[in-house]
Amino acid sequence: MNYWLVKSEPDTYSWNDFIQKNIDRWDGVRNYTARNNLRSMELNDLVLFYHSVKKPAVVGIAKVVRTHYPDPTATEPHTWVSVDFEAVRALTKPVSLALIKQQPVLATIPLLRLSRLSVMPLLPAEFEYIVGMELW
């Protein structure tokens, strides 16, 4: 089992948009590093859903219910891939980027080091730590 974090601009696609569908395709990724991470996702992997730009924060948890397949929205569908996520639950309270930045144990996560990467891995301990912060 692996752990991940994906980013979305809520103006484009928000957590609310996602839970209304319950299961939805994660498409439109056009960056090779992010694509490779999508390819590495396995069934039932857990994924943090992060809102970028506006009130940047982790807002919910999803899980992988279909592993990678050609992205139907791509003009080169053999280059880019999608996966399907199912909503698990919203965090009881969004965990803000500002708070994440204050945690020394999270200083090395890709969210902070590679600010433009939209699909990134997390260590199990990092995932659990961030989820635990919903109760702070």
Question: Which residue ranges make up the site for DNA (CB under 7 A)?
Answer: 7, 9, 31-33, 52-53, 56, 97-98, 101, 113-118
Q: How far is the CB of 30 from DNA (least distance, A)?
A: 7
Write the CA distances from 108 to 50, 60, 98, 103, 117, integer angstroms. Answer: 17, 21, 15, 10, 14
Q: How far is the CB of 90 from DNA (least distance, A)?
A: 19
Between residues 9 and 128, which has the closer beta carbon with respect to DNA? Answer: 9
Between residues 93 and 101, which has the closer beta carbon with respect to DNA? Answer: 101
Are 84 and 45 in contact, with CB atoms under 8 Å apart? no
| Bridge pairing between strands 119-122 and 3-8 | antiparallel
Q: How far is the CB of 43 from DNA (least distance, A)?
A: 25
Taking Cα atoms as reference points, which of 124, 111, 127, 118 lies closest to residue 83? 118
Between residues 43 and 114, which has the closer beta carbon with respect to DNA? Answer: 114
Q: How far is the CB of 103 from DNA (least distance, A)?
A: 13
Taking Cα atoms as reference points, which of 48, 60, 65, 36 lies closest to residue 6? 48
Between residues 33 and 40, which has the closer beta carbon with respect to DNA? Answer: 33
